[in-house]
Amino acid sequence: MTNESAIEQINLGFNEPEDRLLLKVGLADKTEVAVWITRRICKAMWIALQGAGATLLPTSSQFAAPNIVTPNGKSEAIESFQKEAVVQNNLANLDFKSEYMADRQARSDAPMLAILCLVVTIGAQLPQLDLQCSNGQSVKILLTNELVRALTNMMQMATREAGWDLFVEAGNAQVSVMPNQQTVH
């Protein structure tokens, strides 16, 4: 069953008795999805988000200085700088201080347990984080540059509180980045 809704807030915190992180995704319909993140999944998620973030960052070709000698060169240069400024401004204005609204209705009786973390990209669409859970359901989050930055920032804070490291030795990561050429019928 697919139940899409816009993300309004995200919270990630360490739960000491469970020795897990609890990811809460607050949705625009005032519900929330809660997912337990183990240390293993956290490391895989970190790597997946780093990879997705790298693909979402503006590249030099997107902001390449146009040939000023062309008739449209000046306006292209201004437009290029404006695009870069918008991206940087959006990243600088992320809110990490507001409290998470706790009065949301849970979409499940208990938090789901993530057992696999994937980043899926279909064609030219934005990548999406796919947390597959032990109950057979999955939580899919469309990743923007801002969302990747927010999640990685929260992961750094939560893992610091947990005393976990985010560094993974080469060959130990259980993460998949899956380009997918899906045909919609």
Distance between CA 6 and CA 176 in Å, rounded?
25
134 vs 63, residue with greater confidence: 134
Q: What is the pTM of this model?
A: 0.71
Q: How many CB atoms are closer than 10 A to CB 144?
A: 15
Among residues 84, 15, 45, 72, the alpha carbon closest in space to that of 166 is found at 45
Distance between CA 49 and CA 151 in Å, rounded?
8
Mean pLDDT over the full length of the chain? 80
Q: What is the mean pLDDT of residues 35-61?
A: 85
Using DSSP, state whether 81 is helix, strand or coil: helix
Among residues 119, 185, 178, the alpha carbon closest in space to that of 152 is found at 119
Q: How far is CA 79 from CA 69, 83, 90, 93, in A?
A: 16, 6, 17, 21
Please check whether the domain covering 7-58+101-180 is classified as CATH 3.30.2450: yes
pLDDT recorded at residue 174: 47
Distance between CA 22 and CA 35 in Å, rounded?
6
Q: How far is CA 37 from the centre of its chain?
A: 14
Amino acid identity of residue 31, one-letter, is T
Using DSSP, state whether 25 is helix, strand or coil: strand
- Please, which residues bridge with residue 132 across strands? 116, 138
Q: What is the mean pLDDT of residues 116-134?
A: 93
Question: pLDDT, tens digit, for every residue of 127-185?
Answer: 999 999 999 999 999 998 889 989 999 999 999 999 998 775 545 444 444 555 544 44
Q: How far is CA 135 from CA 9, 82, 113, 132, 142, in A?
A: 24, 46, 8, 9, 21
pLDDT recorded at residue 185: 43
For 93-172, where are the alpha helices, taking DSSP H only?
145-162
